């Protein structure tokens, strides 16, 4: 039969040693935890800088590539992006949305440009070769310094994935 002191010693050893052993085990073999990625987009490695993004100030950038300029499908996507930005709540001012199209594509009408401006969507014609190397992507997230860090494929629910990633990025370390 165990005395009360032996029970107490055994309990204290169990309380302090077992968590330490579990911590060492999980540190050496992190695969036990599942290791699911937290981001929905695909990392661009190495990160590529985009020349026309402002590098001063703060704010994450969402770049949406529309090859055909201001088609109905593209304008629908931009409406989704504007709503996604509003869903960020008070953090919406830390996110800039850009509509990018090829320079050879005709420019959007004045009415469409006013609609984009009303939704705080910036409009940029580009021949950027960075987007050519990432031709399978429809949208990108760039950090406040102007580096593309995440890309989103055309087949995925792009707006939802960007929203999830931006929420995570904006909540980490104050949002910028």
Q: What total number of domains does the chain contain?
A: 2
Q: Which domain holds residue 170?
A: 42-175
| Whether pTM exceeds 0.85 | no
**What per-residue confidence (pLDDT) applies to 17?**
92
Same domain, yes or no: 167 and 100 = yes
With beta carbons less than 8 A apart as the criterion, state whether 66 and 108 touch: no
Could you tell me which residues come within 8 angstroms of residue 87 by beta carbon, excluding any fewer than 6 positions away?
Answer: 163
Q: Both tokens of residue 135?
A: 């031709």
For residues 14 and 84, membership in a common domain is answered with: no
pLDDT in tens, the chain (176 residues): 578 888 998 999 899 999 999 899 888 877 777 665 678 888 888 888 887 777 676 789 998 888 776 777 788 888 888 999 999 999 888 898 988 877 776 777 777 888 888 888 888 777 665 666 666 778 889 888 888 889 888 777 888 889 988 888 888 755 44
Residues 126 and 89 in one domain: yes
Cβ–Cβ under 8 Å, residues 103 and 125: yes
The pLDDT value given to residue 136: 72
């Amino acid at each position: 039969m165990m005395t009360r002191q032996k029970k107490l010693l055994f309990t204290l050893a169990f309380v302090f040693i077992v968590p330490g052993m579990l911590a060492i085990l999980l540190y050496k073999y992190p695969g036990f935890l599942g290791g699911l990625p937290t981001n929905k987009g695909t990392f661009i490695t190495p990160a590529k800088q985009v020349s026309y993004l402002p590098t001063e100030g703060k704010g994450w950038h969402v770049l949406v590539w529309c090859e055909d300029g201001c088609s109905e499908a593209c304008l629908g996507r931009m409406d989704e992006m504007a709503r996604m930005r509003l869903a960020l709540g008070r953090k919406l001012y830390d996110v800039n949305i850009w509509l990018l199209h090829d320079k050879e594509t005709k420019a959007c009408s004045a009415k469409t440009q006013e609609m984009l401006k009303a939704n705080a969507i910036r409009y940029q014609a580009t021949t950027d070769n960075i987007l050519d190397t990432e031709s399978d992507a429809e949208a990108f997230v760039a950090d406040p310094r102007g580096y593309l860090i995440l890309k989103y494929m055309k087949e995925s629910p792009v707006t939802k994935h960007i929203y999830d990633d931006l929420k995570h990025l904006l909540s980490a370390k104050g949002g910028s």
